[in-house]
């Protein structure tokens, strides 16, 4: 049976810690290998991307494989051909799928009917490669993540879900400040809680950020939510990560963002460009973590 990475909880605690340490080792040694030599990975993206696409293409090549990029306009993913049929066909051409799409159900169908590994490069429910990369960015500064408090300020979206999942495996304290009406999916939250995730939810960003070592946020309106922009701007008032909010965190607090950022909305330009901001390390770490995830799947 192929190994898949659809959410962070597809890894055990032991596997997640091993992948984290391996990603750090890969980064420190500028790792290259022939692990994927002779293998082709299809990158199927129904949502636009910069970091995810480039980091995966480069990562596949650095592991000796061949990436083939397929944009939504170039494929029939779930449109004129049943997705189950697409999964069966692609399994006969390639050795793995990296998929950036909307609903998680599409990935489930590709797994059910295909015979090759599937990696979640983003869905509406989860963004596991990004948050595992964020774990690497935190791990570089605090190797014992169980001693860390992480704050999330913003939407109860795929990033929030993945941070809750990560808490279950890495043991950090997570405090989420989420506006009323934008809460996380209860089934996802309950599953992570049952696995030991340490998290709390509040409507007050100051409460969530108090004493935090890392403060995270995301855009208020993600791809596919553009028509909600004005409504979200109203709902998210008071949820901007600015200098006043950061002052309530730990003295050595770091600011994180999965990018792209909208300075003046979810984060002030002063915080984004400050010495506390480690967003560029996060972006670089996408490459190293995705290589470690691919090695976990194919080694």
**Bind-site residues for carbamoyl phosphate:** 49-52, 76, 100, 127-130, 258-259, 286
Name the catalytic one among 218, 232, 257, 282: 218
Binding residue positions: 49-52, 76, 100, 127-130, 158, 218, 222-223, 258-259, 286
Q: Is residue 263 annotated as a catalytic residue, yes or no?
A: no
Q: Is residue 127 annotated as a catalytic residue, yes or no?
A: yes
Name the catalytic one among 4, 53, 127, 198: 127
Name the catalytic one among 62, 104, 130, 290: 130
Rounded CA-CA distance 298/3 in Å is 8
Binding residue positions for L-ornithine: 158, 218, 222-223
Q: Is residue 203 annotated as a catalytic residue, yes or no?
A: no
Q: Is residue 130 annotated as a catalytic residue, yes or no?
A: yes
Q: Is residue 257 annotated as a catalytic residue, yes or no?
A: no
| Strands, sheet with 66-71, edge to edge from the N-terminal-most edge strand | 66-71, 40-45, 96-100, 118-122
Name the catalytic one among 198, 232, 257, 286: 286
For residue 202, report the phi and psi dihedrals to the nearest 5 degrees. -140, 165
Rounded CA-CA distance 297/98 in Å is 12
Q: Are 194 and 235 in contact (CB under 8 A)?
A: no
Rounded CA-CA distance 51/261 in Å is 13
Name the catalytic one among 4, 53, 100, 161: 100
CA-closest candidate to residue 293, choices 136, 71, 69? 136
The DSSP element (H or E) to which 254 belongs, if any, is strand 254-257
Name the catalytic one among 4, 53, 161, 258: 258
Active site residues: 100, 127, 130, 218, 258, 286
């Amino acid at each position: 049976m192929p190994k898949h990475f659809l959410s962070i909880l597809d890894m055990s605690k032991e596997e997640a810690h091993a992948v984290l340490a391996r990603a750090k080792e890969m980064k420190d040694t500028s790792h290259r290998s022939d692990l994927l030599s002779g293998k082709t990975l299809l990158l199927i993206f129904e949502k636009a991307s910069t970091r995810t696409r480039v980091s995966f293409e480069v990562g596949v090549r650095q592991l000796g494989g061949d990436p083939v990029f397929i944009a939504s306009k170039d494929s029939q993913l779930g449109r004129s051909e049943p997705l189950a049929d697409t999964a069966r066909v692609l399994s006969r051409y390639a050795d793995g799928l990296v998929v950036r799409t909307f609903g998680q159900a599409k990935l489930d169908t590709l797994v059910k009917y295909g015979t090759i590994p599937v990696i979640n490069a983003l869905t509406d429910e989860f963004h596991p490669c990004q948050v595992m990369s964020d774990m690497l960015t935190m791990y570089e500064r605090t190797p014992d993540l169980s001693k860390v408090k992480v704050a999330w300020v913003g939407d109860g979206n795929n990033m929030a879900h993945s941070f809750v999942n990560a808490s279950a495996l890495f043991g950090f304290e997570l405090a989420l400040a989420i506006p009323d009406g934008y809460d996380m999916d209860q089934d996802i939250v309950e599953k992570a809680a049952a696995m030991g995730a340490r998290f709390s939810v509040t409507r007050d960003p100051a409460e969530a950020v108090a004493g935090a070592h890392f403060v995270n946020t995301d855009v208020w309106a993600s791809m596919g939510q553009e028509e909600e922009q004005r409504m979200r701007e109203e709902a998210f008032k008071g949820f901007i990560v600015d200098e006043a909010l950061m002052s309530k965190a730990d003295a050595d607090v770091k600011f994180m963002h999965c990018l792209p950022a909208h300075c003046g909305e979810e984060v002030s330009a002063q915080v984004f460009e400050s010495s506390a901001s480690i967003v560029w390390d996060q972006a670089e770490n996408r490459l190293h973590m995705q290589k470690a995830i691919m090695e976990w799947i194919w080694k």
